[in-house]
Structure 1
Amino acid sequence: MQRRSFIKKGTAASIMGLGMSVQALSLIKKPKSLNPYSFKLNYAPHLGMFKNHAGDDPINQLNFMADQGFRAFEDNNMKNRSIKTQEEIAKTIHDRGMKMGVFVAHTIYWKEPTLTTGKIDIREAFLKEIEESVEVAKRINAKWMTVVPGFVDLSLNMDFQTQNVIETLKQASAILEPHELTMVLEPLNFHNHPGLFLSRSPQAFQICKAVNSPSCKILFDIYHQQIQEGNLIPNIDSCWDEIAYFQIGDNPGRKEPTTGEINYNNIFKFIHSRGYKGLLGMEHGNSINGIKGELNVIEAYKISDNF
C-alpha cells in the first residue's frame, strides 16, 4: 500500500471513529480569512448597528466591527451596563486594537434647566456623576465623555446662564484633569431638541475657551450642526483648537453618509487634511433594515472615506 493512500484511509477511519462522516465534516464552518478595509479615519460604530450580522452579544458585535476594519466604537449607554460587561468590552477592544469612544457622563434633562440655573444642589449632583464617570472611563479605557448642559432657564439672562455653565464645567474639569479625561460638550440642533441651552458651535467654542482646560472640549456633531447652522467646513476650521471629537449623521433622516445632503467625502477629506487622529462616532441609524442595510452602512463609509 502506498503511503499517501494509507494516510488518506487512516484519516477517514479516525473521523468515522469519532462518529463523524466525511459529509458532516464538510459542513463544519471554516474561519473566514479576514480582509478588513483600511479606513483613513477612525470611524466608531455603536452597539446595535450590526446586530443582524453579529447578534445581540456586544462582544460579537465588537469583533464584527473590527473584522470590517473599524478601529473604534462608541456607546452612549456604557455607564448603565454592568461592571462585568464593561470589563468584557474593555478586554475585547484591547485584544482587537480598538479605541473606546464617548459615553454619556451624566443624567441629561431634556425639558428642564440644569447647569444653566447655577443652583448649588444641581451642580453638586452633576459633579458627583462626573466623579462616577471617571471610574467607568478607567474601567473601559475611555478618554472622552459626553456632557449636555441642559435646557434654557427662561428666568435668567443668557449671559448669566453662560457663566453658570462655565463655572460648573471648571469644577468638573478639576475632577477630570488628574485622570487625563475629557468631557466633550455637544451642541444640539433646535429642530430635534428645541429649548436646549447649547446649540451652536461658536457658543461651545466660547465656553471651552472660558473654561480653559484640556478636560473641556467640543463634540462637533456634524448632523446637528448642519441643521443648526450649516457652513460646516468653515465652522469646523474656526473651532478646530477646541474640537476633541466628531459625530456623524446625514440630513435629513440622521442615517449613514451618502443618504442625504451632506457631502461627507469633502468633510472627511478636510478633517483628515488637518491631521485629525481622534474618533468620529457613527451616531446615526441605518437607512435600510436588516443585513442588507448593515452592508450598505459599511459601503457608505468606504465611499465617503475614498479621497
Structure 2
Amino acid sequence: MKRRGFIQKTALSAGAITLGSGAAFAARKKEVSKKHNFNLKYAPHIGMFKHHVGENPIDQLNFMADQGFTAFEDNLMRKRDVALQEKMANTMQKRALEMGVFVAVFLKEGNVASGDVKSREAFLNYCKESVEVAKRVNAKWMTVVPGNVAKKVRGAYQTANVIETLKQASAIFEPHDLTMVLEPLNFYNHPGAFLTESPQAYEICKAVDSPSCKILFDIYHQQIQEGNLIPNMDACWDEIAYIQIGDNPGRKEPTTGEINYNNVLKFIHGKGYQGILGMEHGNSKPNKEGEQAVIDAYKKVDNFM
C-alpha cells in the first residue's frame, strides 16, 4: 500500500474510533442525566423496583441511587441476616443513600397498654436488639408501635402504661443518639390499635419528654384517621421526626388517590424539613410499568418549587 493511501485509511479509522468514543460518551452522559434531583429525601423500600433489577437487595439499592433517590427504608431490617445487613450498609454508604426507619417493635410485639410486666420486658428487649441493628446499618430512626388497646383497662391507665414503657425505652436509645418514632395507625387497616391519631402521639411524646421519642407522621394513615393533614402536621410539628407517604384510597404512590401531595410536600419543604419521607406504599400498576409509574409520580409531586 502506498504511504499516502495508508495515511488516509488510518485517519479515517481514527476518525471512526473518535466518533465511536464520542457516541459512547454521549450515551453514558445521557444515561447519567436520567438521575433526577429531588427536593426532598424520598425513601423507597425493598421490592419496589424488583421487576427492573431482580430480587437482590443490593441491586435494588443501586437502582434506587441511579434514579436519584437519596434515602432508603426497610421495615424488616431488624429480622434480616447480619451478613446481609452489613452488605446493604456498605452499599448505602458507597451510593450515598441515607438509612431511614426499620421497625423496632411491630404492632403484635408491642402490647404494653395493659401494663403487663412481661409485655413491657419483651418490648424493651426488642429496643435493645434494635440498637445493634441501627449501628450496623447507620440508622437514626426506628418505628415503634405500642400495640393494641387493653380492653379491660381504663383509657387513662393505658396511656400512663405506654408513657412509662416509652420512658424506659428512651433510656435505652438516648446514649446512642437514636430516636424511636411512634406511628399512629388508622382504624380501617389496624382496628384496635392503641395509638391512632397525631394529637394522641403528641401528648405522649410531650409526657415522655425525650429526644429519643418522637412522632412518625404517616400521611396515609392520618388521611383516613383524622384528615386535616397540613393543620395537624403543623400543630405537632416540633415532635415529628419522620414522615411516610401513601395515597388514599389504595395506599399506592402519590397522584393515584385523593391527597394533594403537591401542596402537602410544599408545606413540608417550607417547614425546612431535612428528614426522610418513607415511600411506604404499594405500586398501582404491575411489573416495570408500575415501577416506572412510581418514579414518575414522585418527579411530578416533587415539582413544587
Normalization by structure 2: what TM-score?
0.91
Q: Aligned in 2, Cα 1:303/1:114: closer, same or farther, shift over 3 Å?
A: same
Does the CA-based 8 Å contact 2:107-2:148 persist in structure 1? no
Distance across 1 between alignment mates of 2:147 and 2:11: 73
Structure 2: stretches of 5+ with no match in the other structure: 15-26
Q: 2:38 matched to which residue of 1?
A: 39
Does the CA-based 8 Å contact 2:106-2:144 persist in structure 1? no
Q: Give SS of 2:92's match.
A: helix
- Do residues 304 (structure 1) and 301 (structure 2) align? yes
Q: 2:158 matched to which residue of 1?
A: 161
Which has the larger helix fraction? Answer: 2
Q: Give SS of 2:143's match.
A: strand
Q: 2:21 matched to which residue of 1?
A: none
Deviation at 1:158, TM superposition (A): 0.6
Letter in 2 for 1:72: A
Distance across 2 between alignment mates of 1:42 and 1:188: 23
- Do residues 282 (structure 1) and 279 (structure 2) align? yes
Normalization by structure 1: what TM-score?
0.90
Distance across 2 between alignment mates of 1:78 and 1:7: 58
Distance across 1 between alignment mates of 2:150 and 2:219: 26
- Aligned Cα RMSD in Å? 1.9
Letter in 2 for 1:181: L
Q: Aligned in 2, Cα 1:230/1:9: closer, same or farther, shift over 3 Å?
A: closer
Deviation at 1:106, TM superposition (A): 2.3
Letter in 1 for 2:273: Y
- Do residues 64 (structure 1) and 71 (structure 2) align? no
Alignment of 1:1-307 (within 5 A): 1=3, 2=6, 5=9, 33-35=31-33, 36-109=35-108, 114-307=111-304
Letter in 1 for 2:145: V
CA deviation digits over 1:79-126, x for unaligned, max 9?
11111110111011111111001101024318xx81101111111111
Letter in 1 for 2:280: E
Structure 1: stretches of 5+ with no match in the other structure: 11-29
Letter in 1 for 2:73: E
Distance across 1 between alignment mates of 2:154 and 2:105: 25
Distance across 2 between alignment mates of 1:54 and 1:223: 28
Letter in 2 for 1:261: E
Q: Aligned in 2, Cα 1:4/1:177: closer, same or farther, shift over 3 Å?
A: farther
Q: Give SS of 1:34's match.
A: helix
Letter in 1 for 2:161: N
CA deviation digits over 1:164-216, x for unaligned, max 9?
00000000000000100000000000011111100000000000000000000
Distance across 2 between alignment mates of 1:197 and 1:263: 28
Distance across 2 between alignment mates of 1:43 and 1:107: 23
Distance across 1 between alignment mates of 2:8 and 2:56: 45
Q: Aligned in 2, Cα 1:34/1:120: closer, same or farther, shift over 3 Å?
A: same
Deviation at 1:231, TM superposition (A): 0.3
Q: Aligned in 2, Cα 1:9/1:304: closer, same or farther, shift over 3 Å?
A: closer
Distance across 2 between alignment mates of 1:3 and 1:128: 78
